[in-house]
């Protein structure tokens, strides 16, 4: 700890060495009148700041905390207690202060000169237990050659918690100490000091010579060599600046100004003068280059001088791009001109001038690189991901910036580990001595990543110590306020034989105080080898255009000879099975196929596949040339098992698309009757071969297929029918009656009706971390009236370890929803799929497991009684049986019964996936109905049916058929987790519209919940409505357009009965009516209880 006594008195007595101390003074005006010299060039007075990183945009670079803790608060990681900067986007925070003198300092020794007056400004404020303004000071620390240290206060101000205060002061020096340090200090111990925009400036007069082209700002620093060669560098040769005062070369005067550079002792034509311009250029911008050049030496005539860019890439490669050239001579200055534009941002961008033969001097004057003015409509400058996020990404600087996460790390050059060679560059790193799967290599990236920015990760890894492939992961650990979180970024199976690539993307919503990225995964004892890790802001991909779909014959079957009128023509067996044509007995045909009035009437011929030795064997047909991209195809077939098996067997219409399996629909079938398969598919990328085939029964079981059809479906043709259906289901007739003092003489008065909100439940999945994103929260609150929590209410989240309950996240989410009047579904009390059950629960048996189930019900439902409108009691019971297998068949009904006792107000739901699209034999509508009936017979108060809706290529008729089958139960159906996926956002919008229109038009559907809407917060990729940067894409615009369509707007006049009649959607309205005394505005609500609603308004 340093001594502070006696520093005030030292202001007034001489110091050893005879140096007078700086005298505090009042700040002077920041500018003086411009002075014009006799030659017409202007001398401009500017203020030069000597403080490096004065706005903390580079974190704490060159700043040091004095015996306390410091960090930079930025928008990306969250501001300190919500305090926004005074200017810019960042400020420094000093915390854990135990002495008043503790603060933030910077060494300015090399930046000050004698006899110069310096002006200090800083914006400061405080935070903590303070009830009145406290003093904040700016101080200089002088460290002398004699080892003595003195302190001088140069500015002081009273600061508060309420606002930023501007501190001002000044000083000048008569001698320079061995070390001069500037720092800010002052508030009492325990009080945080906040600092923004620190400047120490002096007045500098510069000769103003234009460095712009077309009025744009120049890129080149010291373009006229008025500051010597700073920051220019000669390339393997000699360079100096010739000036009017030092003497021009052989009497050669400058083309403009008073200086030029001379590059001499050149032994190669590429030797010249260079400047690094990496941080001053960006992608997507056109730049123009100009320079005045000439040559000197043993040269006759003209020689070429070139401007060149040297681009050093992150993978170690270097490229040279010519940007301009000119023929130069000894006799006069010649203007070199050129241009360039960068499509990708390399690690380094260096501009240099080169070209004359060896031995010839190159003379350079007035070099300019400027923006041409022809920019993109929206320019976003993104620095190299290597420079801004991961430091030393390819281990070129050894292990600098890297550390082991609970293990040892080592860098290897060229070959190691039995001749393992680096994939890129010359080095790779190993993580050894690993005793846990989370051990690996790590780097802290706090301050270099921002929230609400999409990043992409790339790495190459392999393992050593195991012959078996094992998973390697890239993970981000984030410390948020009051919590910590692990975010999986990328994963892949790695081997000891070759390098494996890891690629991924991530987006952080919530403010955070610390972020560490690390590579982990393999079991203990296995080494992880890493050949680089690159993390960079993701490039914004250009929106894909809406595909043109023309001349499609909708409803026409693509399959040749589908009625088998020409025998087996067009058909071939998959594998070695045998095909033959048979005719079904009329009494065995489904009734719909025997009805000659039906469009589905067929002859009864079918194809029989026998001698099947593999599941995939069956009839097939190549349809490659008949398919069109971006078109939705419906699949329909009747199938029946043949001889050789008993019971029902899985039968599936498939498509082999370039050897990838595409599901066209499936069903369980036996030999007793015919079963209908319904499905759909769509191709977004051009395949080289597509084969349609039918497969499924075990080997040895014959397969019968009748009336197989694959045809394009015009889904929009159904929309008009759905609009009429929606009008019947979602609207009601309304009669407005008027009473009161203004209700007289209303006949013919103008009435304007505008619906403000549709009461139909439209909701979305949310999570604790993403409501911290203000843009996310705003979109959610504005466009949804229901919510469901992604994970925060699930048992594995609220009790990851037995007995340690965590309701913090669900509490805060619920409070957020209640604050904004958002209704909430509870998801979920239990999850029947074993993979979704936390390890400690999986380890329980018998009464121990039963006790845990009872505790879970009591804990959650008593805590939130009456606050959740719905509860999914036991999720996905059609796809799992964890609790039923261990606690008996009645456990499912028991969960419903107990949940109802603990919270009678909540509607209890079953909830499952793949119910609506015919693609999963485990979860057909018929099986869902059977499950609900069984639960009800066991006394379970099932109140609703949850159809998740994770669907691809939706077809309205298939969805409607499934909903009709579920509706026989008389229970409300909710779409609980809707998402549709398509890489092209226009196709995604079409799919979303198909499903939303179909569900909204169905009388049994009580609400629709999306399983997310923001990019990187989706269960499936390419399902988002809003891009990571907040841009609403076509799918989002379609959703908002439908929401707008489902609002009623009516204008008209009061009729002879003094009433106004209209038909409108259920929800909230405002009405304006013109009366004799003026316009009257009233609000009312249209409910859904009866066909006609009479509303009396007092006007």
Give the pLDDT mean for 595-605: 62
Peptide bond into 828 cis (omega under 30): yes
Q: d(Cα 490, Cα 499) in Å, to the nearest integer?
A: 15
Q: For 226-256, what is each residue's pLDDT tens digit? A: 888 889 999 998 988 887 666 677 778 888 7
Q: Which of 637, 734, 715, 787 is nearest to 987 (CA)?
A: 715
pLDDT-based confidence at residue 719 (cuts at 50, 70, 90): very high
To the question of domain 572-713 being in CATH 1.20.1250.20, the answer is no
Q: What is the pLDDT of residues 152-161, one digit of tens each?
A: 889 899 998 8
The pLDDT-based confidence of 5 (bands split at 50, 70, 90) is very low
Residue 386 in contact with residue 286, Cβ under 8 Å?
no
Answer for the pair 908, 944: CB distance below 8 angstroms, yes or no. Answer: yes
Instruction: Please report, to the nearest 10 degrees, the dihedral formed by the alpha carbons of residues 803, 809, 813, 815 taken in order.
Output: 70
Reference 244, options 223, 232, 230, 226; nearest CA is 226
Output the pLDDT for position 413. 76
487, β-bridge pairs: 476
- Give phi and psi for 795, each to the nearest 5: -60, -40
Per-residue tokens: 325: 């050239």
Q: What is the pLDDT of residues 821-842, one digit of tens each?
A: 999 999 999 999 999 999 999 9
pLDDT in tens, 393-413: 999 888 999 999 999 898 887
Question: pLDDT tens digits, residue range 178-230?
Answer: 889 999 999 999 999 999 989 998 876 443 333 333 334 579 998 988 888 88
Backbone angles phi and psi of 702, in degrees to 5: -70, 160
CA atoms of 609 and 619, how far apart (whole Å): 7
Choose the weakest-confidence range: 112-116, 426-430, 464-468, 493-497.
Answer: 112-116
Give the DSSP H/E element, type plus range, for residue 205: strand 192-208
Q: Write down the CATH number for the domain with range 393-439+462-510+518-536.
A: 2.60.120.260
Whole-number Cα distances in Å, 693 to 102, 369, 610: 77, 63, 15
d(CA 1069, CA 1052): 15
Residues sharing a CB contact under 8 Å with residue 1008, sequence separation 6 or more, in sequence order: 760, 761, 762, 763, 974, 975, 978, 996, 999, 1000
Catalytic site residue from 185, 354, 520, 977? 977
Residues whose CB falls within 8 Å of the CB of residue 413, separated by 6 or more in sequence, listed in order: 426, 427
1064 pLDDT band (50/70/90 cuts)? very high
Grade residue 984 by pLDDT with cuts at 50, 70 and 90: very high
Q: How far apart are CA 134 and CA 194, in angstroms?
A: 13
Cβ pair 891, 849 in contact under 8 A: no
* Segment 1075-1095 mean pLDDT: 90
Burial 307-341 (b: 16+ CB within 10 A, else e): bbbbbbebeeeeeeeebbbbebbbeebbebebebe
What are the boundaries of each domain within the chain?
A: 9-205, 210-375, 393-439+462-510+518-536, 572-713, 730-756+1048-1098, 763-1045
CATH of domain 210-375: 2.60.120.260
Please, which pLDDT band fits residue 601 given cuts at 50, 70 and 90? low
Rounded-to-10 torsion of CA 457, 463, 468, 473: -30
Question: Which DSSP string corresponds to 645-706?
Answer: --S-EEEEEEEEETTEEEEEEEEEE-SSS-EEEEEEE--SS--S-EEEEEE-SPTT--EEEE
Average pLDDT of 1029-1053? 96
Judged against a pLDDT cut of 50, whether residue 24 lies above it is answered with no
DSSP string, 985-1008: HHHHHHHHHHHHHHHHT-TTEEEE
Provide the 3-class DSSP secondary structure of residue 151: strand
What distance in Å separates the CA atoms of residue 731 and residue 1064, rounded to the nearest whole number? 5
Tokens matching residue 214: 């077309």
Strands 470-480 and 427-432: unpaired
* Mean pLDDT calculated for residue range 364-388: 55
Query: By C-alpha distance, which of 1034, 1031, 1013 is closest to 1023?
Result: 1013
Of 130, 16, 109, residue with least CA distance to 62? 109
Lowest mean pLDDT among 110-124, 696-710, 865-879: 110-124
1091 φ/ψ sector (left φ>0, alpha ψ -120 to 50, else beta): alpha
For the beta sheet containing 470-480, the strands, ordered from the edge strand earlier in sequence to the opposite edge, are 403-405, 440-444, 512-520, 470-480, 483-494
Question: Percent of the chain at pLDDT above 90?
Answer: 64
Residue 804 has pLDDT above 50, yes or no: yes
Q: Which residue has the higher pLDDT, 26 or 462?
A: 462
State residue 148's pLDDT score: 80
pLDDT band at 917 (very low <50, low <70, confident <90, very high): very high
- In this predicted structure, the answer to whether residue 165 has a pLDDT above a threshold of 60 is yes
Structure tokens at 92: 């420094």
Residue 556 has pLDDT above 90, yes or no: yes
Asked if 949 and 959 count as a contact pair (C-beta separation under 8 A), the reply is: no
Which among 833, 836, 849, 748 is positioned nearest to 794, based on CA atoms?
836
Is 58 considered catalytic here?
A: no
- Which band of pLDDT confidence, cut at 50, 70 and 90, is reported for residue 383? very low
Instruction: Tell me whether strands 950-951 and 973-980 are parallel, antiparallel or unpaired.
Output: parallel
> What CA–CA distance (Å, rounded) separates 241 from 365?
10
Whole-number Å distance between alpha carbons of 370 and 213: 6
pLDDT above 70 for 76 = no
Give the integer Cα–Cα distance in Å for 918 and 265.
80
Q: Which two tokens stand for residue 265?
A: 């002792």
- Quick one: pLDDT at residue 591? 60
Q: What pLDDT, on the 0 to 100 scale, is given for residue 246?
A: 62
Q: Shortest CA distance to 844 belongs to which of 804, 883, 875, 815?
A: 883
Q: What one-character-per-residue DSSP string does 82-126 give?
A: GPPPSSSSEEEEEES--STT--EEEE-GGG--TT-EEEEEEEEEE
| 9-205 and 730-756+1048-1098: identical CATH topology | no
Residue 51 CB burial class (10 angstroms; 0-12, 13-18, ≥19) = buried
d(CA 83, CA 86): 9
pLDDT at 468: 93
147 pLDDT band, cuts 50/70/90, is confident
Percent of the chain with pLDDT over 70: 90
Give me the chain's average pLDDT, please.
88
pLDDT at 541: 78
Q: Enumerate residues 6+ apart whose C-beta is below 8 A from 838.
A: 795, 796, 799, 800
CATH architecture of 730-756+1048-1098: Sandwich (2.60)
Q: What pLDDT, on the 0 to 100 scale, is given for residue 766?
A: 98
Higher pLDDT, 867 or 128: 867
pLDDT of the residue at 376: 33
CA-nearest of 312, 313, 294 to 304 is: 294
Cα-flanking dihedrals φ and ψ of residue 996, to 5°? -65, -45
Give me 550's structure tokens.
């023309």
CA distance 992 to 1012: 13
Mean pLDDT lowest among 8-22, 99-113, 974-988: 8-22
873/860 Cα distance (integer angstroms)? 12
pLDDT at 249: 72
Burial class (CB in 10 A: 0-12, 13-18, 19+), 648: middle
Q: How far apart are CA 447 and CA 58, in angstroms?
A: 8
- Of residues 950 and 415, which shows the higher confidence score? 950
- Residue 779 gets which letter from DSSP? H
Q: How far is it, in rounded angstroms, from Cα 334 to Cα 366?
A: 11
**The pLDDT of residue 443 is above 80:** yes
Question: How far is the C-alpha of 676 from the C-alpha of 918, rounded, in Å?
Answer: 10
pLDDT at residue 176, as a whole number: 78
Question: 3-state SS of 522-571?
Answer: CCCCCEEEEEEEEEEECCCCCCCCCCCCCCCCCCCCCCCCCCCCCCCCCC
Evaluate if residue 916 carries a pLDDT over 70. yes
Fold of 763-1045: TIM Barrel (3.20.20)
Residues 926-955 have pLDDT tens digits of: 999 999 999 999 999 999 999 999 999 999
Higher pLDDT, 741 or 402: 402
Distance CA 762, CA 784 (A): 5
pLDDT at 38: 33
CB neighbours (10 Å) of residue 371?
21
| Residue 12 neighbours by CB under 8 Å, 6+ apart | none
Q: How far apart are CA 649 and CA 274, in angstroms?
A: 75
Half-sphere exposure of 997 (CA within 13 A, CB side): 25
Would you give the DSSP letter of residue 20?
P
Condensed to tens digits (0 to 9), the pLDDT of residues 749-786 reads 999 999 999 999 999 999 999 999 999 999 999 999 99
What local confidence, expressed as pLDDT, does residue 318 receive?
82
Cα within 13 Å of Cα(884), Cβ side: 16
Residue 52 pLDDT level (bands cut at 50, 70, 90):
confident
Q: Give the architecture-level CATH label for domain 9-205.
A: Sandwich (2.60)
């Amino acid at each position: 700890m340093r001594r502070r006594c006696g520093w005030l008195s030292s202001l007034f007595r001489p110091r050893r060495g005879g140096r007078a101390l700086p005298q505090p003074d009042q700040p002077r005006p920041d500018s003086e009148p411009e002075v014009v010299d006799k030659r017409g060039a202007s001398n401009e007075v500017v203020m030069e700041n000597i403080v490096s990183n004065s706005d903390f945009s580079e974190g704490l670079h060159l700043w040091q905390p004095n015996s306390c803790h410091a960090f930079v608060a930025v928008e990306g990681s969250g501001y300190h207690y919500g305090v926004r900067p005074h200017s810019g986007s960042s400020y420094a925070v000093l915390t854990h202060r135990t002495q008043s003198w503790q603060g933030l300092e910077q060494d300015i020794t090399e930046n000050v000169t004698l006899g110069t007056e310096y002006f200090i400004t800083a914006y400061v404020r405080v935070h903590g237990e303070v009830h009145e303004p406290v003093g904040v000071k700016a101080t200089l620390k002088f460290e002398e050659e004699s080892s003595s240290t003195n302190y001088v206060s140069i500015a002081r101000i009273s600061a508060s918690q309420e606002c930023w205060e501007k501190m001002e002061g000044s000083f000048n020096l008569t001698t320079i100490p061995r070390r001069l340090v500037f720092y800010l200090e002052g508030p009492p111990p325990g009080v945080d000091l906040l600092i923004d925009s620190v400047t120490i400036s002096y007045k500098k007069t510069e000769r103003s010579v234009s460095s712009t082209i077309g009025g744009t700002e120049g890129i080149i620093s010291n373009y006229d060599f008025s500051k010597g060669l700073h920051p220019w560098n000669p390339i393997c040769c000699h360079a100096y600046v010739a000036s009017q005062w030092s003497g021009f070369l052989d009497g050669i005067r400058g083309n403009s100004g008073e200086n030029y550079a001379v590059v001499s002792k050149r032994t190669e034509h590429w030797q010249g003068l260079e400047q690094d311009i990496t941080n001053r250029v960006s992608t997507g911008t056109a730049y123009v280059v100009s320079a005045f050049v000439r040559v000197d030496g043993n040269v006759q005539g003209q020689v070429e001088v070139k401007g060149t860019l040297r681009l050093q890439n992150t993978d170690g490669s270097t490229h040279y791009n010519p940007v301009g050239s000119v023929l130069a001579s000894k006799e006069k200055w010649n203007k070199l001109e050129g241009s360039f534009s960068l499509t990708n941002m390399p690690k380094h961008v260096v501009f240099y001038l080169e070209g004359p033969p060896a031995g010839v001097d190159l003379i350079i004057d007035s070099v300019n690189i400027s923006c041409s003015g022809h920019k993109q409509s929206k320019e976003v400058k993104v620095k190299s991901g290597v420079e801004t996020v991961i430091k030393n990404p390819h281990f070129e600087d050894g292990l600098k910036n890297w550390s082991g996460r609970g293990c040892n790390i080592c860098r290897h050059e060229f070959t190691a580990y039995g001749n393992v060679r680096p994939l890129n560059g010359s080095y790779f790193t190993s993580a050894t001595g690993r005793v846990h799967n989370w051990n690996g290599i790590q780097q802290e990236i706090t301050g270099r990543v921002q929230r609400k920015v999409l990043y992409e990760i790339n790495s190459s890894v392999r393992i050593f110590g195991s012959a078996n492939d094992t998973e390697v992961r890239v993970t981000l650990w984030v410390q948020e306020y009051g919590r910590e979180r692990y975010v999986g970024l990328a994963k892949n199976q790695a081997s000891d034989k070759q390098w494996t690539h890891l690629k991924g993307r991530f987006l952080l919503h919530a403010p955070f105080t610390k972020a560490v990225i690390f590579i982990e995964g393999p079991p203990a004892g296995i080494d992880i080898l890493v050949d680089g890790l690159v993390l960079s802001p993701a490039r914004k991909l250009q929106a894909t255009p809406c595909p043109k779909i023309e001349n499609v014959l909708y409803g026409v079957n693509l399959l040749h000879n589908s009625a088998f009128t020409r025998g087996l023509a067009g058909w071939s067996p998959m594998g070695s099975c045998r095909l033959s044509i048979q005719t079904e007995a009329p009494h065995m045909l489904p009734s719909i196929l025997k009805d000659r009035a039906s469009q589905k009437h067929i002859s009864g011929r079918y194809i029989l596949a026998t001698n099947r030795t593999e599941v995939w064997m069956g009839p097939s047909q190549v349809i490659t040339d008949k398919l069109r991209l971006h078109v939705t195809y419906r699949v329909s077939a009747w199938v029946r098992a043949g001889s050789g098996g008993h019971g029902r067997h899985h039968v599936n219409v498939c498509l082999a698309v370039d050897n990838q399996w595409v599901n066209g629909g499936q069903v369980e079938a036996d030999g007793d009757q015919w079963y209908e398969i319904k499905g759909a598919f769509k191709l977004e990328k051009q395949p080289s071969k597509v084969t349609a085939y039918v497969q499924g029964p075990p080997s040895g079981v014959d397969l019968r297929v009748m009336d197989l059809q694959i045809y394009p479906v015009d889904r929009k043709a159904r929309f008009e029918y759905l609009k009429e259906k929606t009008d019947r289901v979602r609207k009601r007739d309304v009669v407005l009656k008027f009473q009161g003092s203004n209700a007289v003489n209303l006949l013919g008065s103008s009435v304007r009706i505008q619906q403000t909100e549709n009461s139909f439940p439209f909701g979305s999945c949310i999570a604790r971390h993403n409501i911290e994103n203000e843009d996310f929260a705003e979109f959610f609150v504005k466009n949804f009236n229901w919510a469901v929590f992604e994970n925060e209410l699930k048992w594995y989240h609220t009790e990851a370890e037995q007995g340690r309950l965590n309701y913090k996240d669900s509490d805060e989410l619920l409070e957020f929803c209640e604050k904004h009047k958002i209704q909430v579904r509870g998801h979920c009390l239990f999850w029947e799929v074993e993979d979704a059950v936390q390890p400690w629960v999986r380890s329980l048996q018998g009464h121990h497991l039963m006790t845990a189930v009872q505790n879970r019900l009591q804990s959650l439902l008593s805590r939130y009684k009456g606050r959740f409108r719905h509860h999914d009691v036991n999720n996905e019971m059609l796809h799992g049986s964890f609790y039923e297998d261990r606690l008996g068949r009645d456990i499912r009904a028991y969960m419903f019964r107990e949940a109802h006792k603990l919270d009678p107000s909540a509607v209890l739901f079953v909830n499952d996936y793949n119910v609506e699209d015919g693609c999963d034999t485990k979860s057909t509508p018929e099986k869902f109905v059977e499950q609900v009936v069984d639960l009800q017979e066991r006394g379970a108060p099932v109140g609703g049916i949850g159809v998740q809706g994770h669907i691809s290529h939706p077809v309205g008729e298939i969805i409607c058929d499934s909903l009709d089958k579920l509706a026989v139960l008389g229970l409300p159906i909710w779409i609980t987790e809707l998402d549709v996926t398509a890489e092209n956002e226009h196709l995604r919008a079409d799919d979303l519209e198909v499903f939303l229109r179909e569900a909204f038009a169905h009388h049994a559907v009580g609400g629709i919940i999306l399983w997310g809407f923001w990019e990187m917060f989706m269960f499936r990729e390419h399902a988002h409505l809003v891009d990571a940067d907040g841009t609403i894409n076509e799918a989002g615009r379609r959703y908002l357009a439908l929401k707008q369509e489902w609002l009623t707007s009516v204008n008209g006049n009061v009729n002879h009965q003094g009433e106004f009649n209209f038909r409108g959607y259920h929800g909230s309205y405002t009405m304006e009516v013109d009366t004799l005394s003026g316009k009257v505005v009233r609000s009312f609500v249209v409910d859904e209880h009866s066909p006609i609603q009479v509303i009396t308004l007092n006007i």
